[in-house]
């Protein structure tokens, strides 16, 4: 079983597996992984399948991740379709994919990059034209490219697209399993660390019985982050007592620090009714609008 590792603790040369069911969590982990590669001067390629190239670019840009200039040395980050992994062939073939990545690594080093970092959306393996055996061969054969620590990768597996046997195999053949740090999780609520921008992400229903879990998560964000980003995009219900925890945390921030809350309009209304307008350090970004 692969060891579970927070994305910010992955080292150069790691080959990690991400299995996910929450697209926002997957995006956050991917953005943090890309940002780390940019800070290390690596060439970065995001192979995307379930999400379109333009959509993924826009989502990364929303989190402050840009494809940086092609001037002179090539782009630091490229977002491309997953089918480019098999070099234009009609179907994925493991040997071709491994050879392509070996070539990309060689060219990155020739351009003076410190290494190559890739994210690979593995949903291609669930497509009708794919041979499931090629996925198994690819994950096994690509391992040799990680030997010198110059290639770092996350292979992304959507739990909705793969059966438990394939997901179990993916976990076994990767040295690491990357995951968000979870503060609280039960049948109705999940609270976890958000990496880019840094803060806390909450999904589900947040009532008064779970307000303490939110308080603890926000307390860590106050210790770790200059500004606190609270992502409530996937929060369906916010109890007034839990809203007070948010407002109290924002009100007690030191001068010049702020809390940015991203939410839908029903959650915004609850925060306004709880007194959000009286907290200068609080800023709310509302889906389909901004306050």
Is there a domain that residue 34 lies in? yes
Q: What is the CATH number of the domain that holds 107?
A: 3.40.50.300
Average pLDDT value for residue range 200-226: 96
Q: What is the pTM of this model?
A: 0.82
Assess whether 172 and 42 both reside in one domain: yes
Assess whether 65 and 141 both reside in one domain: yes
Q: How far apart are CA 3 and CA 94, in angstroms?
A: 25
**Is it the case that residue 5 has pLDDT exceeding 90?**
no
**Is it the case that residue 114 has pLDDT exceeding 50?**
yes
Give pLDDT, residue 4.
79
What percent of the chain lies above the pLDDT cut of 70? 92
Q: How far apart are CA 245 and CA 215, in angstroms?
A: 6
**Is it the case that residue 274 has pLDDT exceeding 80?**
yes
Assess whether 28 and 125 both reside in one domain: yes
Beta-carbon contacts of residue 124 (< 8 Å; ≥ 6 apart):
49, 82, 83, 85, 92, 130
Q: How far apart are CA 16 and CA 26, in angstroms?
A: 13
Assess whether 130 and 200 both reside in one domain: no
Is there a domain that residue 61 lies in? yes
Strand order across the beta sheet in which 176-178 lies: 3-5, 176-178, 15-20, 151-158, 116-121, 43-48, 77-81
Average pLDDT value for residue range 236-261: 96
Assess whether 77 and 142 both reside in one domain: yes
Q: What are the tens digits of pLDDT across the range 131-190?
A: 667 777 888 888 889 989 999 999 999 988 888 888 888 888 888 999 888 999 999 999
pLDDT tier, 259 (very low <50, low <70, confident <90, very high otherwise): very high
Assess whether 104 and 142 both reside in one domain: yes
Structure tokens at 233: 């995009």
Q: How far apart are CA 36 and CA 114, in angstroms?
A: 12
Give the β-pairing of 116-121 and 176-178. unpaired
Assess whether 108 and 194 both reside in one domain: no
Average pLDDT value for residue range 225-245: 96
Number of structural domains the chain divides into: 2
Domain that holds residue 125: 3-178
Strand runs (DSSP E) across 55-125, as ranges?
Answer: 77-81, 116-121
Taking each continuous run of H as one helix and of E as one strand, the counts in the chain are 8, 13
Residue 236: CB atoms within 10 Å: 14
Structure tokens at 291: 């306050």
Q: How far apart are CA 211 and CA 146, in angstroms?
A: 43
């Amino acid at each position: 079983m692969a060891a579970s590792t927070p994305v910010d603790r992955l080292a150069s040369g790691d080959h990690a597996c991400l299995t996910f069911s929450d697209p926002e969590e997957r995006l956050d982990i991917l953005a943090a992984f890309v940002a780390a590669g940019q800070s290390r001067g690596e060439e970065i390629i995001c192979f995307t399948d379930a999400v379109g190239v333009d959509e993924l670019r826009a989502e990364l840009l929303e989190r402050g991740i840009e494809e940086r200039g092609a001037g002179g040395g090539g782009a630091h980050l490229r977002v491309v379709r997953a089918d480019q992994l098999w070099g234009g062939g009609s179907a994925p073939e493991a040997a071709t994919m491994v050879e392509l990545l070996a070539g990309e690594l060689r060219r990155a080093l020739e351009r003076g990059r410190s290494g190559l970092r890739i994210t690979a959306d593995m949903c291609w393996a669930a497509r009708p034209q794919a041979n499931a055996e090629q996925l198994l061969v690819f994950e096994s054969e690509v391992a040799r490219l990680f030997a010198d620590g110059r290639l770092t990768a996350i292979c992304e597996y959507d739990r909705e697209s793969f059966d438990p046997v394939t997901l179990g195999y993916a976990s076994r053949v990767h040295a690491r399993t990357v995951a968000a740090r979870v503060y609280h999780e039960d049948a109705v609520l999940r609270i976890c660390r958000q990496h880019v921008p840094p803060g806390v992400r909450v999904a589900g229903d947040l009532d008064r019985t779970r307000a303490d879990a939110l308080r603890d998560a926000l307390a860590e964000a106050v210790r770790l982050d200059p500004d606190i980003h609270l992502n409530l995009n996937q929060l369906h219900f916010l109890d007034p007592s839990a809203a007070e925890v948010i407002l109290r945390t924002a009100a007690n921030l030191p001068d010049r620090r702020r809390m940015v809350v991203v939410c839908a309009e029903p959650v915004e209304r609850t925060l306004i009714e709880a007194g959000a307008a009286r907290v200068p350090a609080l800023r709310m970004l509302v889906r389909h609008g901004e306050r």
